[in-house]
Copies of this chain bind each other. A is one copy, B any other.
Amino acid sequence: MGNVGAGVFKHLTQNRALLRERLGYELEVKRIAVRDLAKARGVSVSGELLTTRWEDLLDDPAIQIVVELMGQKDESLRLILGAIERGKIVVTGNKALLAEHGREIFEAATKYKVPVFFEAAVAGGIPIIKSIREAFIGNHIRSIHGIINGTSNYILTQMCERGIGFTEALAEAQAAGYAEADPALDVNGGDAAHKAIILASLAYGFWVPGDKIHVEGIEHITAHDICFARKLGYTIKLLGIIKADASGEIEVRVHPTLIPEKHVLASVNGVFNALAVHGDIVGDTLFYGRGAGQDPTSSSVIADLAEAAAALQSPRSNYGFMPHGLYGTCKPIAEIVSEYYLRLTVEDRPGVIAQVAGVLGGLNIGISSIFQPESSEGEPVSLILVIHKATNAQIASALEKIGALPCVKKTPRMIRVENFA
């Protein structure tokens, strides 16, 4: 009964009549495991429901559904596996745990024929799990592009709208309660990577190992990058990208990305999340909403509870993870082809562009455009290049060579570009 748990309890109570009308029966909270019996939780809950031993929930045969919102690793895993072994349906929002132990959890779920629901694990109140798994069941998922970390999106939006730097925007996000005291997992892409793994498992039927995913955060994005991107007609978002290519290999990666200002994802601002899903039948779709917070996440947990209750009445043969074996290989980042924005800091003198272009030409990398923003004379200046179609390996090699040029004064910065072609 932390933040989300208290929200679920509150809304189950407040919307009890509505749920009873819609479901045809009541959901009753039988027991709540907490660390501290005395802690204030902002909801009125009878002391009799509380226990400090989560094992009590497993031991009570009257409990049919266990909602795991502890957000722990070992304890959460033991609770979930214990519930499955006892035939109790599981609802969880634990993205880190699913990303790391999803395989084990769903193998147990299959073995014991117990459904596991996890809508709250990705994008808070947005029904993206249900949509991919059920609404798009007839589709090969060609790609998912997701803004799936609200903190990063809030920071990038502030940088973009007000021209402030990353450090200042992060401090504001913390003051506004949108970033944790330790914001590392939000801004370094780690949280988005957990969600990307879950989305990939739904779309492609296997659990991508965490170390196969390329993850970059937004720490190195500058106000200049955002300004130059805008001049090129782009905005910068932290995206989780999940894609299949024609050969059946899949890409899973998380990094800051230049996306066209006209794309619907570009208008997703502040703490909101959104996922653009492209299916071979349905074409382009987008889902938008609050990706975190007590209330939106509670909405998803309650939807899963309703599913769980229906599953108790009439079990189905297929729930949760659906391994279909059509794909299974995750492409290394080095082989992935992308477009790129490069920002170099170079000496302000003739001949520099020729040297940089020479390096790229030597590596067989075509340049799509070059521009040099105005600056005060004599100072090192920015040089912006846009590259169409190169592998990440090619670009890594180019950046190394360009960084070694005497006319290049700082480590070159690279941000990938996605044109949704």
Partner-B contacts on A (CB < 8 A): 11-12, 15, 17-19, 21-24, 119, 125-127, 130-131, 134-140, 205, 264, 267-268, 272, 274, 279-290, 295-296, 298-300, 302-303, 305-307, 310, 313-318, 322, 324-326
Contact = CB atoms under 8 A, between A and B. Distances in A.
Contacts of A295: 281-283
Nearest to A298: B281
A280 B305 CA distance: 18
B288 A283 contact: no
B280 A15 contact: yes
Contact of A19 (B138, B267, B280): B138
A23 B302 contact: no
A126 B126 CA distance: 13
Given A24-B318, A289-B286, A303 B135 contact: yes
Contact of A290 (B272, B283, B290): B283
A345 to B, nearest CB: 34
A274 B287 CA distance: 10
Contacts of A317: 24, 310, 313
Nearest to A307: B134
A282 to B, nearest CB: 4
Contact of A300 (B12, B17, B135): B135
A21 B281 contact: no
Task: From A139, A279, A281, A307, name the one whose CB has the most chain B CB atoms within 10 angstroms.
Answer: A281
A299 B318 contact: no
Nearest to A7: B281
